[in-house]
Amino acid sequence: MNLLEFTHIIRKNVTVRDHIVDKKIVDVAKRAGVSAATVSRVLNESSLVSEKTKIKVLKAIEEMDYHPNAAAKHLRSQRTMTLGIIVPDINVSYFSEIIKGIENKAYAHKYKVLICDSDNQIEKEMEYLGLLPDKTVDGMILVTPRVSDDTINDYVQKGYVIGVVGRAVVHENILSCKTDNVKFSNEAVRHLVEQGHQQIAYIGGYSDSLENYERMEGYMKALKEGKIPFLPTLIDNGDFEETGGYQAFSRLLERNQSFTAVYCANDEMALGVYRACRERGIRIPEDMAVVGVDNNRITEYLLPSLSTVEQPKYEMGAHLTEKLIAQMNGNEQNAQKKYVIESKLIKRESSSFKR
Amino acid sequence: MNLLEFTHIIRKNVTVRDHIVDKKIVDVAKRAGVSAATVSRVLNESSLVSEKTKIKVLKAIEEMDYHPNAAAKHLRSQRTMTLGIIVPDINVSYFSEIIKGIENKAYAHKYKVLICDSDNQIEKEMEYLGLLPDKTVDGMILVTPRVSDDTINDYVQKGYVIGVVGRAVVHENILSCKTDNVKFSNEAVRHLVEQGHQQIAYIGGYSDSLENYERMEGYMKALKEGKIPFLPTLIDNGDFEETGGYQAFSRLLERNQSFTAVYCANDEMALGVYRACRERGIRIPEDMAVVGVDNNRITEYLLPSLSTVEQPKYEMGAHLTEKLIAQMNGNEQNAQKKYVIESKLIKRESSSFKR
DNA sequence: GCACGTGCTGAAATCGATTTCAATAACATT
DNA sequence: AATGTTATTGAAATCGATTTCAGCACGTGC
């Protein structure tokens, strides 16, 4: 057996195992009888290639089923056309709706989307942020309350592209899209006041977040407008999960400070309130009115159906993505950074009982 | 103003606009007084570098905050450590739970996850499959019924790595993870038979899919076991969405073939049945027993709560990913391709009325 | 003292596409 | 005929990391 035969066998074995025999741009060039540069020009629709060669090249590409290698393009172009999204839990509909909005807009601009589910762990989120200096992604969208404003700001200062959805951020230069917490919280609590409630509890989210501060502000403003005294004992906080809402509500009850309505920072925690009420024989809405936030799909199917504040999740994701991509393309360098989308109260059975 | 000052201003301006000044491996090498090769060896924990230089290099890396460029690594290594997932709609909890399982396992093996939401469009799915020959992803996971078995098989034959979740595939060589449709459908319908039902309708999914065939088989087997005649008029199909279930159920009612129970191919369509029943004053479970499939979170909160077949969504995603990665790493070349995970019936109020 | 192995290091090739720059051909202008 | 212009093309450099291969220094064995 000569060397040629032997080589052939090796090749064959490799082929059998791996068998994706990749065509490169030079192979296409060879077949079309032109140079790699010309093929590249055809691929990138450069105007400076004659119609005749263009046809030759396209034919070769077609015949060879040639696909340009992404890694090589990325290296050369210094962009990956990929956006990262960091979320605490992709399986929570609030997040998956936002992701959907992001994905759709990204797709429309030929961007791909890398999902970074942090499982609620800040360490994982910090690790995923490393995809920016890695240049694995061209930009990152944060839909998480965990990474601190300062951390985000540091990255932005270094020149990395970051956008934030559904969260208030202090720093001026950070691109964000959210709803008006003060306004809709005010509206929700005012609705309860109008229903005749005089003692209204509030179950907030993370107590030290800017959102929570803003929502408290809306809550207190509504009390003030209704000439209702503010009682700190009617305030508690949860973690945006069912159990957290259940526990916060239980604590409120144990304080022996009576109340007839509760405004929850999200629907998930309102579910916990429902469970606590069921266990204790408290009737919704007769004994206790409940209003949530998010308008999760589930709220319609609950009995009684849950009043809630619609959060335009899809729109927030989509809108931020649009602005982020515009920024990456160098347009709108000095464009607005803070976007606020309208949200509105949806009145349902859980707050329908008039006192 | 001298040139130095002027240059400084230019630098500053550039810094303000672009300012990610990337450090390359040669920069680190220069600082550490070694060659790029050595830095690379340190980064990749090669054993053939002395402890002394290793420390020098690590110090330089640390000081310069150096991050290896992903695109360059990808090009050189011919792998991107990225997995693609094609789903019809990320906002449907059935899919997002599967994605969660995939993401977690991928993360554990240092893989990233690219989300491809096809919006139920086959064209988008085909386009996303192009990420395989692009080499944008090392492998692709399909959680969609749309791409045909033959298409998948073509890609696999060419040597691309593809796995399928929650779907039956004919071809032997395609890696998949699913539940036993025949078995759990049989169990669900048998449960209805045991509750005393003699006329049981079935609202299936895509009528020409292998799953649907298997579920029909389980359904018919249960009828046979209960000595109940099979009536084709009690069969209809939906599209796995609420409206589809509503419409299929309405069609069934219009046929004047009476029935007292319905088995739905997923919970979403069962929701449609609930709505149709509410509109017509049909009581669940007294007049109509309902059993769904998936165990969506919402089923617990419905009134009456919905009996359903648990689908281990997270586990299916996680298990398939584990196997897919093993395959990509060249292990288990001849390993099993078809994996079946246990699912079980959850009896709730919607099927609790005994005839 | 010489041959040889071992441990460590660097120069250069490589991955595959894009882009700059120079060269050529074809044609127009004077 | 000499020069300039334009359209088209290809060779080579480039992106940034990895890896091969060769070389050097040092120690060991004879």
Instruction: Write out pLDDT tens, residues B177-235.
Output: 999 999 999 999 999 999 999 999 999 999 888 999 999 999 999 999 999 999 999 99
- In this complex, the residue of B70, B104, B133 whose CB is nearest that of residue A134 is B70
How many whole angstroms separate alpha carbon B105 and alpha carbon B112?
Answer: 10
Q: Which nucleotide is closest to the Cα of B50 by its C1'?
A: C8
Residue B261 pLDDT level (bands cut at 50, 70, 90): very high
Residue in this structure with the two tokens 């393309």, named with its chain if needed: A329
Cis check: omega of the bond before A285, within 30 degrees of 0: yes
Phi, psi (deg, nearest 5) at residue A191: -55, -45
Nearest to A298 among B75, B117, B298 (CB): B298
∠ CA A48-A52-A56, nearest 5°, is: 105
Enumerate residues near strand D (beta carbon within 7 A). Answer: A 33-38, 41, 48-53, 72, 75-76, 78; B 22, 24-26, 36-37, 39-41, 43-44, 67-69, 71-73, 75-77
> What is the distance in angstroms measured between the alpha-carbon CA of A55 and the sugar C1' of C26?
21
The distance (Å) linking the CA of B173 with the C1' of D16 is 38
Task: Work out the number of other CB atoms within 10 angstroms of the CB of residue B65.
Answer: 9
Q: Which residues of A touch B303 (CB under 8 A)?
A: 303
Query: Nearest-CA neighbor of B141 among B124, B164, B123?
Result: B164
Alpha carbons A344 and A183: distance in angstroms, whole number: 9
- Is there a contact between B278 and B252 (Cβ–Cβ < 8 Å)? no
Q: How confident is the model at residue B10 (pLDDT cuts 50, 70, 90)?
A: very low
Neighbour tally for A327: CB within 10 Å: 17
**Cβ of A20 and B160 within 8 Å?**
yes
Q: In what order do the strands lie in the sheet with B261-264?
A: B235-237, B200-204, B261-264, B289-294, B307-310, B345-346
User: CB under 8 Å to A254, separation ≥6 — which residues?
Assistant: none
- In the block, tokens 């791996």 appear at A18
> CA of B2: how far to CAs of A235, B10, B14, B16, in Å?
63, 13, 19, 21
Q: How remote is the C-alpha of A66 from its chain's centroid?
A: 35
CB contact under 8 A, B302 and A297: no
Q: What is the pLDDT along chain A (355 residues), one digit of tens a residue?
A: 333 333 333 333 333 334 567 889 999 999 999 999 999 999 987 777 888 889 999 999 999 999 999 999 999 999 999 999 999 999 999 999 999 999 999 999 999 999 999 999 999 999 999 999 999 999 999 999 999 999 999 999 999 999 999 998 989 999 999 999 999 999 999 999 999 999 999 999 998 889 999 999 999 999 999 999 999 999 999 999 999 999 999 999 999 899 999 999 999 999 999 999 999 999 999 999 999 999 999 999 999 999 999 999 999 999 999 999 999 987 666 789 999 999 999 999 999 999 8
Alpha helices in B117-158 (DSSP H): 122-129, 131-134, 149-158
Q: Are B260 and B199 in contact (CB under 8 A)?
A: yes
- Cβ-Cβ contacts under 8 Å for B281 (sequence gap 6 or more): none
The two structure tokens encoding residue A106: 């990204």
Q: If you average pLDDT over residues B43-64, what whole number do you get?
A: 88
Report the 10 Å Cβ neighbour count for A262: 30
Among A20, A91, A113, the residue with its CB nearest the CB of B114 is: A113
Nearest residue of A to residue B83, measured between CA atoms: A114
Nearest CA of chain B to the CA of A303: how many Å?
Answer: 7
Q: Determine whether the distance from the CB of B52 to the nearest atom of strand C is below 7 Å.
A: yes
**Which pTM was predicted?**
0.91
- Average pLDDT of every residue of chain B: 92
Nucleotides of C under 7 A from a protein CB: 7-12, 14-20
CA of A126 to C1' of D13 (A): 37
Mean pLDDT of B284-298: 97
Chain B CA closest to residue A328: B18
Instruction: Say which DSSP state B232 is in.
Output: G
* Residue B151 in this model has a pLDDT that exceeds 90: yes
Instruction: Using an 8 Å CB-CB cutoff, list chain B residues near A159.
Output: 18-20
- The tokens of A262 are what? 């509760």
Beta bridge partners of B87: B117
Q: Mean per-residue pLDDT for B249-275?
A: 96
Count CB neighbours of B123 within 10 A: 10
How open is the CA angle B273-B276-B282, to the nearest 5 degrees?
95
| Cβ neighbours of B124 in A, within 8 Å | 107
What is the distance between the alpha carbons of residues B5 and A40, in angstroms, rounded to a whole number? 42
Mapped onto helix, strand or coil, the DSSP state of residue A295 is: coil
Strand partners, A312: none
Q: What is the pLDDT of residue B49?
A: 85
Residue nearest to nucleotide D6 (CA to C1'): A48
pLDDT of residue A240: 95
Please give the nucleotide, over all strands, whose C1' is closest to the CA of residue A41: C18
The answer to whether A264 and A292 have CB atoms below 8 angstroms apart is yes
- Identify which of A80, A99, A114 has the shortest CB distance to residue B90: A99
DSSP assigned state of A306: P
User: What angle is formed at CA A67 by the lines to CA A61 and CA A71, rounded to 5 degrees?
Assistant: 145
Is beta strand A175-179 parallel, antiparallel or unpaired with respect to A338-341?
Answer: parallel
Q: What is the least distance, in Å, from the CA of A305 to any CA of chain B?
A: 11
Q: What does the CA dihedral B179, B184, B185, B187 come to, rounded to 10 degrees?
A: 180
Per CB-CB distance under 8 Å, the chain A contacts of B135 are 22, 67, 69-71
Question: How far in angstroms lies nucleotide C25's C1' from the CA of residue A50?
Answer: 14
Nearest to A103 among B97, B113, B115 (CB): B115
Subunit contact B158:A114, Cβ cutoff 8 A: no
Chain B partners of A17 at a C-beta cutoff of 8 Å? Answer: 333
- How far, in Å, is the CA of B201 from the C1' of nucleotide C8? 76
From the CA of B84 to the C1' of C3: give the distance in Å: 57
Looking at beta carbons, which residues of chain A come within 8 Å of B78? 71
